[in-house]
Chain A
Amino acid sequence: MIEDHLLLTGLNILLAWSVYIILMTGTMSFGNGAFMAIGAYVAGICTVRLGVALEPATLIAALACFVFGLAAGFPALRTRGLYLIMVTIGLAFCVRVAIENTSILGGVRGMRGLEGTTIWHVAAAVLIVGGLLWQVSRSPLQRIFDAVREDEDVAGALGINVVHVQLVAFATGAALAGIAGALYGHYMLFIAPDHFGILVSIFVVLYVILGGTNNMWGPVLGATLMTLLPEFVRGLAEWRTAFFSLVIVLLLLVRPEGLLAFRTVSTRAPRPRKTPS
């Protein structure tokens, strides 16, 4: 039971990071549920139909989602703000309808026979992805992301290829969602298109907004709270969702910048300083 909670928490942290890395460059995605679905189905075909082991299947799923993220992001990232939200939501619906109408994937009845995800797979994925994000946070890349997010016009005038940076971040987010999807599918033993609906995408964005978008720990806290909190209030029965929504609204009122809002300064001035010559 505890292991199940930990495993789901880990998957939600991965999903939260998949949105975080996209938000870091000033774009957004309300369609990461779709990338999760693609990851689950690609990995599912690899293991069930082709007999590939789960670990390489997950990597193949990540790669497929990266490529799909590039292809979808290239036109989608020409839009901004509300329009980008609409486009990514539209993307999520497209993927769902496409899967529902593809008989080789089982259509609306879903796909069976996926198995093998253990807590250790999830832990390893969280550690690897967390390590990658940690490396980003202390490299010059973090400053480039921050600059692109703050003012992409100025970032462009400084020689940064804004489209390239945003597109790679978007595709990396898609790949992370794909990894989460692959591991989720092989934990659930069965996947169907409605497991990856629009609500999943919106919830994942909420994890990050609640936790904070300025550092990699915000999404961890947001995902952990949102996964475990409902379990602590089981006594509320049907009122659970209402209570939960109320908590979200209150949190956003009190801390609109998220629970962990700090931004880590990448480099400080050397001390003692050089005296001006």
Chain B
Amino acid sequence: MTRLHSLLLVGLALLGCEDPLQSVSSIQGPRLLGVRVSVAGDAKRGTPAPGESATAEFLLATKDGDPSVSFALEACTTTQSYSGIAECLATPFATALQASPIPGRAAFPFAVPADLGVNSGLRGLIRGVICANSELSGADSAAPHCADGQNGELSFDFEFGAAGSATANSNPELVSDALSLDGNPWLAATAGATETCPSSLLEVHAGSSHQLSVRLRDSDFEPLTQLSPEDPTRETLLVSHFSSAGTLGHAFSWLTAASPALTATMPWDAPKTVSGTQLIHFYFVARDSRGGQDFAERALCLVP
């Protein structure tokens, strides 16, 4: 109870005051936002089985969008610990190294060894460093890092599970029409990051306020095995939302199969001023807490 009270009093004391710390929903510099594992030949499944190949894709965000990436990654096995950063139980079964940045979304293909004895509690782990628009230093060392000092360390654990098995897990899916702005469809931008706004982008005016919405589908809420009557019967999904400018009302939204319209809505206030036009990037990640993820990017053009 003491911890609860401490949390409440410290947190409540800050509400209503301008928080000097950077908001989690504000993209000010390069950040890794999501990792999605897709099994080869069964892209919706995020749990490869021994002998199967899979690819991990990474959503890296920057203020200007579409970064070049460098990375040092490895895949290994781990167990689900009660807390702390996961560690490899054995020598990694896959590695990838890209010391100089290359354009495009980072991807890490790997194959799960066929003779991997997957037992209850054994999980997969992808860990390493990924950098946006930066060289990778110390690639050959035990501590590779981004040359420009950005924090690119990551850890992502997932389950092993063949299709139809008890541990199989599907990634949720942010389909093309999942996102809307003020109730209107908000489709992906067709142009890359530029200083000017493509005409295909939606425009918003400086100082305006808007509602962003993310809609999921009923099939995204997979059934769960109940260990007790109090356990939920279906997944609960966490939607994270980020913007490179303006202010989002909150950074996370929870959705259940019972949520109205299976939609998360969050307010966004555009910057109060703009010089000319400004391209603003938005990122959304949907997670099921078991390793299943999907992400989407959108953009707006800010005009005076």
Do A and B interact? no
Q: Using a CB–CB distance below 8 Å, which chain A residues touch chain B?
A: none
Q: Using a CB–CB distance below 8 Å, which chain B residues touch chain A?
A: none
